């Protein structure tokens, strides 16, 4: 083979962070008025948003991708793995031409189709037939190509009877099947696929995986992002591990996945921010967040009746007044279960002298219902008006219900908390 089909060289992408956003002409005007009066606009225009993010973030750049280089030869199937925020989506967006890189270059030889989502552009008022044409054309097919594959698409989707019904009347399963059917018949030379397999029922997922396997075996070049290590192992000849926006390891699928999984396991129950991130922090910098079980060992899950605690280690670099450190426990569906700060109950901050501190928060025993939770940690001052650091998703942990309310096996009790309410019942 002469040239590689995909050649990526020094690809980087920076997003601007923390700049006071001037989203309206009114904001723009206020911004310049503050500047003209010699004041820091950030001090006057900051707002605390719904997530409690405060306004004093330093202005700067966030590198979602940094100097990423790799090559893919014709017919290779490369899996891309990495944790959330590692840069996988950004890489796909650039290779799909949805956004432009900040620097670097990518050269793709052959017809590229990318699938970041199935059913993009589907219109609820149009029929299945019309949507096949619309979606196919949006994905880059010509009318002739779609017409030639139309029967196969319909057959694959198994919705022949409803092909002339508006898709707004489809069940979600039918909708997804039709959407995937179009995507599966793109027949490109280079295929860039984001995690789109998690759709439909199990039997349809099997069919999708089978179809992707077919695409793979037809000798196409495929870039495949997934959190499903089984699928990557099965489909990909090589793997690329992205971590913090850079290529951490590339090569044999088995080796890369093993290294990646080992790294994930080593981080269970503990979070340490990037050294670079910590160095750039302000007067208070986060060093470590750890989940501890009843015996004080690191853990990733605990029983509902067991004691557990969260430790937050941080450095104070300059003496700051009205400072506090806190954590938020957030459920899987992003509901904040509670927020707690180290100066509770009154929640007012205190003076912190420079030095290293370890704050320890005991989690209430038996409160949380079974399931997964995420922990965000932060430090702020002046009752949250000024954020010193924040890590929205530092840790996650699982709670297993072993005794007490809702512990009878097989029962799925709804609710975020388990409360033993006193009940009385009298014959009336």
Partner 1 sequence: MTADGHGTAGGGVAGAAAPVTRIRPGAPVWAIPWREMWSYRDLFAILIRRDLTVVYKQSILGPLWFVLQPLLTTVVFTVVFGRLAKMSTDQVPPFLFYMSGTVLWNFFAGCLNSVAVSLATNAYLFSKVYFPRLLLPAALVATQFVHLLLNVVIFAGVSAFSMWRGAPVRPTAELAWLPLLALQCGVVGMGVGLGLASLTVKYRDMRLALPFLSQLWMFATPVVYPVSLVSGGPWWNVAILALNPMAGPVDRFRSMCLGTAPMSGALYAAGLAVGLVVFAVGLLLFNKVQRTFVDTI
Torsion sign across C-alpha atoms 396, 401, 403, 405: positive
**Contact region for partner 1 (CB under 8 A) — 40-48, 101-109, 197-205, 378-386?**
101-109
Closer residue to partner 1 (CB): 64 or 394: 64
For the beta sheet containing 355-363, the strands, ordered from the edge strand earlier in sequence to the opposite edge, are: 270-271, 284-292, 308-316, 355-363
* Candidate list 107, 198, 218, 398; residue touching partner 1; CB under 8 A: 107
Interaction between residue 45 and partner 1 (CB under 8 A): no
**Contact region for partner 1 (CB under 8 A) — 124-132, 243-251, 313-321, 330-338?**
124-132
DSSP letter at 165 equals: S
* Candidate list 78, 81, 91, 106; residue touching partner 1; CB under 8 A: 106
* Candidate list 57, 130, 270, 293; residue touching partner 1; CB under 8 A: 130
Angle at 370 between CA 367 and CA 371, to 5 degrees: 120
Q: Smallest distance, Å, CB 5 to partner 1?
A: 9
Closer residue to partner 1 (CB): 166 or 371: 166
- DSSP state letters, 292-308: E-TTS-B-SEEETTS-E
- DSSP state letters, 315-343: EE-S-EEEEEEEEEEEETTS-EEEEEETT
Closer residue to partner 1 (CB): 142 or 171: 142
Largest Cα–Cα distance of the chain, in whole Å? 87
- DSSP state letters, 36-57: HTT--HHHHH----TT---S-P
Query: Rounded to whole angstroms, what are the CA distances from 50 to 47, 55, 336, 387?
Result: 10, 12, 11, 14
| CA 362 to mean position of chain CA atoms | 28
Closer residue to partner 1 (CB): 118 or 361: 118
Length of the chain: 428
Closer residue to partner 1 (CB): 85 or 104: 104
* Candidate list 140, 230, 251, 415; residue touching partner 1; CB under 8 A: 140
Q: Looking only at residues 6 through 25 of this chain, which bind partner 1 when binding is defined by CB under 8 A? A: 15, 22-25
Binding mask 58-97 vs partner 1 (x if CB under 8 A, - otherwise)?
Answer: -----------------------------------xxxxx
Interaction between residue 259 and partner 1 (CB under 8 A): no
Instruction: Give the CA radius of gyration of the chain.
Output: 26
Q: How far apart are CA 395 and CA 190, in angstroms?
A: 37
Interaction between residue 343 and partner 1 (CB under 8 A): no
* Candidate list 33, 123, 267, 385; residue touching partner 1; CB under 8 A: 123
* Candidate list 43, 143, 217, 356; residue touching partner 1; CB under 8 A: 143
Strands 77-81 and 350-352: unpaired
Closer residue to partner 1 (CB): 26 or 279: 26
Binding mask 144-163 vs partner 1 (x if CB under 8 A, - otherwise)?
Answer: xx------------------
Task: By CB under 8 A, name the binding residues for partner 1.
Answer: 15, 22-26, 28, 93-112, 114, 116-117, 120-121, 123, 125-126, 130, 133-134, 137-145, 166, 189
């Amino acid at each position: 083979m002469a040239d590689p089909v995909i050649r990526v060289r020094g690809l980087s992408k920076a997003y601007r962070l923390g700049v006071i956003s001037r989203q309206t002409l009114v904001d723009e005007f206020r911004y310049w008025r503050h500047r003209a009066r010699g004041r820091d606009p950030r001090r006057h225009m900051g707002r605390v948003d719904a997530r409690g993010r405060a306004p004093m973030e330093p202005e700067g750049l966030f590198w979602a991708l940094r100097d990423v280089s790799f090559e893919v030869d014709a017919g290779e199937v490369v899996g891309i793995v990495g944790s959330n925020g590692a840069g996988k989506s950004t890489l796909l967006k650039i290779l799909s031409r949805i956004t432009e890189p900040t620097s670097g270059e990518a050269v793709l030889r052959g017809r590229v189709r990318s699938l970041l989502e199935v059913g993009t552009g589907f219109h609820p008022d149009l029929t299945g037939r019309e949507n096949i044409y619309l979606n196919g054309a949006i994905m880059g097919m010509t009318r002739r190509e779609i017409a030639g594959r139309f029967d196969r698409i319909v057959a694959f989707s198994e919705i022949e009877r409803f092909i002339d019904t508006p898709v707004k009347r489809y069940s979600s399963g039918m909708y997804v099947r039709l959407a995937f059917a179009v995507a599966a018949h793109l027949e490109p030379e280079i295929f860039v696929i984001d995690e789109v397999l998690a759709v439909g029922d199990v039997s349809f997922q099997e069919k999708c995986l089978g179809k992707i396997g077919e695409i793979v075996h037809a000798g196409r070049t495929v870039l495949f992002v997934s959190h499903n290590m089984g699928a990557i192992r099965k489909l990909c000849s090589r793997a690329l591990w992205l971590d913090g926006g850079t290529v951490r390891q590339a090569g044999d699928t088995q080796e890369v996945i093993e290294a990646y999984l080992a790294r994930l396991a080593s981080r269970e129950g503990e979070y340490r921010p990037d050294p670079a991130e910590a160095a750039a922090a302000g007067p208070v910098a986060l060093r470590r967040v750890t989940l501890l079980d009843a015996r004080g060992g690191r853990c990733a899950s605990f029983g509902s009746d067991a004691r557990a605690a969260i430790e937050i280690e941080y450095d104070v670099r300059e003496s700051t007044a009205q400072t506090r450190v806190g954590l938020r426990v957030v459920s899987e569906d992003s509901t904040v279960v509670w927020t707690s700060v180290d100066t509770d109950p009154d929640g007012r901050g205190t003076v912190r002298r420079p030095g290293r501190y370890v704050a320890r928060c005991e989690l209430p025993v038996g409160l949380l219902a079974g399931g997964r939770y995420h922990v965000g940690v932060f430090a702020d001052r002046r009752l949250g008006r000024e954020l010193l650091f924040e890590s929205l998703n530092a840790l996650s942990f699982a709670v297993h219900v072993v005794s007490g309310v809702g512990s009878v096996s097989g029962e799925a009790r709804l609710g975020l908390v388990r409360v033993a309410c006193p009940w009385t019942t009298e014959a009336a």
